[in-house]
Structure 1
Amino acid sequence: MWMYLGLLAALFLGLHNLCKKHAVQGNEVFPVLLGTVSSGFVFVLVFKVLSIVYPDYAAEHGYVFQDISLQTHAFIVVKSIIMAASWVLAYQALKHLPITIVTPIRSAGPFFTFIGAILIYKESPNLYQWFGFFIIIFSVILYSKIGKKEGIIFKSNKWIFAIIAATFLGASSGLYDKFLIQSLSLNPQTLQFWFCFYTILILLIILSITWFPYASKRKAFKFRWSIIAVGVLLQAADYFYFKALQDPDALIMLLSAIKRSQIIIAVVIGGLVFKEHNKRKKLVPLIGILIGVFLILYSNK
């Protein structure tokens, strides 16, 4: 069951990435990020209010919010710091790079998660899973060759380093999620609510230095419907992902890989919507990534 929940998370993540590209194009990145997190928070807040007003109905339908200790709050703050840094880097990179380059690099995230799952959680990969991950990494290298034809030199482009750092931080957060969900027994909605709350506070601090004091930057910001869509779609994806992690049999390395199936939406549909170059050539490494994901998904069958 947890694998199917992972696929649902991938579906919403793919749609989320398309809306995110639309939201940041020619726009101020930091206020867009604040807007997306805030809209996601409001989405979860609705369920929080319902759980207070109609506690019995909330309990019956499975969205009870837990009371948590100060120590648990501190653990969630750490996750907020990690993800805020990852998002700031990723949004900046997405603004300056084609989505068909950014998304495949992000697809290397399962490799970092894979290593962490082995070292931290002692998850045991088999031969097919090893093959799957190395095929994914090799396919990402192929994308770098294609990216050069679009004027993107991977060795000297700072946005490439930004998206790689964002990917590493995102993978670290994924490993941390297993600790929060399984070791601390947090349910998805409680984690989502407080995570969004603390992330908003962090972003407000960043914007108070980099954006709010500058009238020219404030005027350059364009509100778009996609900002709200990004926040709501991300919360939907996170909910199904956290629900999957609640299963004690769930393997974080496999869930991380399953989520990469979002690239089908981002690369194929995104390439058509945003009219980016070399779409056919990018299908070759895309197929490689899908083969790698396939090997991981079906290695235990």
Structure 2
Amino acid sequence: MWMYLGLLAALFLGLHNLCKKHAVQGNEIFPVLLGTVSAGFLLILPFFLGSVFYPEATKEIGFYVNDIPWSTHGFIFIKSMIMAASWVLAYEALKHLPITIVTPIRSAGPFFTFIGALVIYQERPNFYQWIGFFLIIFSVFLYSRIGKKEGINFKNNKWIYAIIGATFLGATSGLYDKYLVQSLNLNPQTLQFWFCWYTILILLVILSITWFPYKAKRQAFIWRWSIPAVGILLQTADYFYFKALQDPDALIMLLSAIKRSQILIAVVVGGLIFKEKNKRKKLIPLAGIMLGVALIMFFK
């Protein structure tokens, strides 16, 4: 069951990436981030209010936000800092790179998660899952070759390093999620509510220094429908992802790989919407990544 929840998370993440590309074009990164996270927070806020004023009814529908100790708040705040840094790097890279290059590089996230799962959680893949893992990494390398044809030098382009850094931090957060959900017994809505809250506080501090004091920057900001859509789609994806992690049999390295199937939406649909180049050539490594995901998912 947890694998199918992972596929649902991938579906909403793919749609989230399309909206994110639209939201950041010509915009400052931090206010866009604040808008997306705030939209996600407002989506979950009714569950928190219901937990305070109508606890029994909220428990019945399965969206009760639990009371947690201050030590657990500290662990969630650490996750907020990791993801805030990851998002800043990812959004900046997305402004300057084609979505059909950014998304496949992000698909290398399972590499970091895979290694962490082996070392930290002692998860052990079988022979076919190893093949799937290396097939994903090789396919991402093929994307780098295609990227050079679009004038993107993977060695000298700082935005490539930004998206790699974002991918590493995102994988770190993914490993940390398993600890939060399984060791601290946090349900999805509790983790999502407080994560959004602390991320908003972090972004407000940054914006108070870099954006709010500058009238020209504020006037240049363009509000788009895709800004709240990003936050809503992300929180929906995270809900299914955290629900999958609640299963004690869930393996974070496999779940991370399954989520990479989101690139099907980004490369095929995103390439058509944003009219990016070399779409057909990108289908070859795309097929490699999808095959790798299939090997990891179905050969347990």
- Identify the TM-score tier after normalising by the shorter chain: over 0.9
Partner of 1:117: 117
Write the letter of the residue equivalent to 1:150. Answer: E
Matches within 5 A, 1:1-301: 1-300=1-300
Distance 1:179 1:72 in 2: 11
SS in 1 for 2:42: helix
Q: Distance in 2 between matches of 1:118 and 1:41?
A: 33
- 2:3 partner SS: helix
Unaligned regions of 5+ residues in structure 1, if any?
Answer: none
2:199 is paired with a residue whose SS is helix
CA distance in 2, matches of 1:272, 1:37: 27
Distance 1:225 1:193 in 2: 22
TM-score (normalised: structure 2): 0.99
Distance in 2 separating the partners of 1:298 and 1:4 = 11
Q: Aligned-pair distance for 1:52?
A: 2.7
- Cα distance in 2 for partners of 1:228, 1:47 equals 18
**Structure 2 counterpart SS, 1:249:** coil
Contact 2:103–2:266 (CA<8 Å) still a contact in 1? Answer: yes
For 1:52 and 1:205, the matched residues in 2 are separated by: 28
Q: Partners of 1:29 and 1:96 in 2: how far apart?
A: 12
Please state how far the C-alpha of 1:127 moved relative to its aligned partner: 1.1
Shift of 1:211: 1.3
Question: In structure 2, how many angstroms separate the alpha carbons of the residues matched to 1:228 and 1:198?
Answer: 18
* Amino acid in structure 2 at the alignment position of 1:132: G
1:195 and 1:33 map into 2 onto residues whose CA distance is 14
Identity value in percent: 77
CA positional deviation for 1:51: 2.7
Superposed displacement of residue 55, structure 1: 2.0
Distance 1:189 1:262 in 2: 23
Shift of 1:50: 2.4
Superposition misfits of 4+ residues, deviation over 3 angstroms: none
- Structure 1 counterpart of 2:70, which letter? L
Alpha-carbon contact 2:5-2:243 (below 8 Å) kept: yes
1:141-197, Cα deviation, whole Å (9 max, x unpaired)? 111111111111000000000000000000000000000000000110000000000
- CA shift at 1:213, angstroms? 1.7
Q: CA deviation at 1:53?
A: 3.1
Q: Distance in 2 between matches of 1:267 and 1:112?
A: 22
TM-score (norm. length: structure 1): 0.98
Distance in 2 separating the partners of 1:190 and 1:47: 9
Instruction: Supply the AA of the counterpart residue of 1:120.
Output: I
Count of matched residue positions in the alignment of Structure 1 and Structure 2: 300
| Structure 2 unaligned blocks of 5 or more | none
Tell me the C-alpha RMSD between the 2 structures: 0.8
